[in-house]
């Protein structure tokens, strides 16, 4: 895959974050981790998954994108997302650690220190107490000490890491004995019609597209592959499940406009095309989509999820 743009949090939220939040809600419920635990969210982006975590004692987000981490650090709600649970809204209003300007290696807010609270070593600095901490880092080389978290999760990110197996080994390394380690990715090959229609229209106009088409480039995002990575990392009680969510678009513009935000593979590809090519792609897509008589578009998306336990 070519370099993928991840930078503008608002544009990402409108394009993908709003859907990841719905998967995350079902995913976190599936994990069944009680409140008061130490969580790590790798490839945390703007916080779609972190926002669903119930009452963590500590939550650390790691991402390569400074821009996304700023949004994560603020715990901001996307303007496009009007369907969040009351619990989430209450937590956002309670106000997590404020964002700090600039691409500091550790962006940490004033985490309240508590007796008996966990500690995390990050880039040589000591993160103490509970609260919310955002770190710039690579999933395949986490800036964290061993065995510190009760739950290590990742949403829609592992397929973007050049060596996902190395990332899974890292997720395991920083997990405490007995911790749950879990992730989800889109079922790009068979469960992402939003992108399938986009790439089908693109391929018709650009025969050289190849594996930029995510249904080809990320065809490895399957339950058996995820289970293999988890087992190879030495994790126990490995299980997978398919998570389906409805994707509802008011009209074609509601579908199309987020692709113009430039975040992720398809919007990044679109931005690389000329205005005339973008126009042709848009019109081809308009005719491919199952637009209802009232103008709305209703799709179903599916993600594969995996979880396992660190021995001990």
Contact between 46 and 76 (Cβ < 8 Å):
yes
Contact between 133 and 72 (Cβ < 8 Å):
no
Which is closer to ligand SAM, CB of 40 or CB of 44? 44
Among 17, 75, 191, 262, binds ligand SAM (CB under 6 A): 17
Which is closer to ligand SAM, CB of 157 or CB of 305? 157
DSSP secondary structure letters along 102-158:
S--SEEE--PPP-TT--EEEETTEEEESSEEEEEE-BTTB-SS-SS-EEEEEEES-G
Residues of this chain, 247-306, that bind ligand SAM according to CB under 6 A: none
The least distance separating ligand SAM from the CB of residue 108, rounded to whole angstroms, comes to 18
Query: Does residue number 64 form part of the binding site for ligand SAM (CB under 6 A)?
Result: yes
Residues of this chain, 125-164, that bind ligand SAM according to CB under 6 A: 138-140, 155-157, 160-161
The least distance separating ligand SAM from the CB of residue 218, rounded to whole angstroms, comes to 11
Residues 6+ positions from 82 with CB-CB distance below 8 Å: none
Smallest CA-to-CA distance from 139 within 86, 66, 62 is with 62
Instruction: Return d(Cα 17, Cα 10) in angstroms, integer.
Output: 9
Contact between 110 and 138 (Cβ < 8 Å):
no
Residue closest to ligand SAM when measured from CB atoms: 45
Residues of this chain, 20-59, that bind ligand SAM according to CB under 6 A: 20, 43-45, 48-49
Q: What residue ranges bind ligand SAM (CB under 6 A)? A: 6, 16-17, 20, 43-45, 48-49, 63-65, 68, 138-140, 155-157, 160-161
């Amino acid at each position: 895959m070519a370099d993928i743009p991840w930078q503008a949090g608002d544009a990402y939220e409108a394009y993908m974050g709003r859907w990841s939040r719905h998967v995350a809600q079902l995913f976190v419920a599936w994990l069944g981790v009680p409140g008061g635990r130490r969580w790590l969210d790798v490839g945390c982006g703007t916080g779609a998954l972190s926002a669903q975590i119930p009452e963590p004692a500590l939550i650390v987000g790691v991402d390569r994108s400074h821009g996304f981490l700023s949004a994560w650090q603020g715990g901001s709600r996307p303007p496009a997302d009007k369907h969040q649970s009351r619990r989430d809204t209450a937590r956002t209003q309670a106000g997590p650690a404020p964002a700090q300007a600039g691409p500091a290696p550790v962006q940490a807010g004033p985490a309240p220190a508590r007796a008996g609270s966990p500690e995390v070593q990050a880039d040589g600095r000591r993160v103490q107490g509970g609260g919310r901490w955002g770190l710039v880092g690579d999933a395949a080389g986490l800036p964290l000490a061993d065995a510190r978290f009760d739950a290590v999760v990742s949403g829609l990110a592992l397929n973007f890491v050049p060596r996902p197996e190395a990332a899974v080994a890292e997720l395991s390394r920083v997990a405490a004995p007995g911790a749950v380690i879990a992730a989800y990715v889109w079922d790009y090959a068979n469960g992402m019609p939003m992108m399938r229609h986009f790439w089908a229209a693109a391929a018709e106009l650009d025969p050289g597209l190849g594996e930029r088409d995510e249904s080809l480039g990320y065809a490895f995002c399957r339950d058996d592959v995820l289970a293999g990575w988890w087992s190879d990392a030495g994790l126990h009680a490995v299980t997978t499940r398919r998570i389906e969510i409805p994707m509802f678009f008011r009209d074609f513009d509601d579908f199309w406009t987020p692709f113009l935000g430039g975040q992720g593979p398809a919007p990044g590809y679109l931005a690389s095309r000329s205005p005339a090519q973008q126009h042709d792609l848009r019109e081809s897509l308009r005719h491919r989509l199952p637009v209802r008589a009232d103008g709305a578009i209703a799709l179903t998306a599916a993600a594969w999820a995996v979880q396992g336990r660190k021995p001990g």
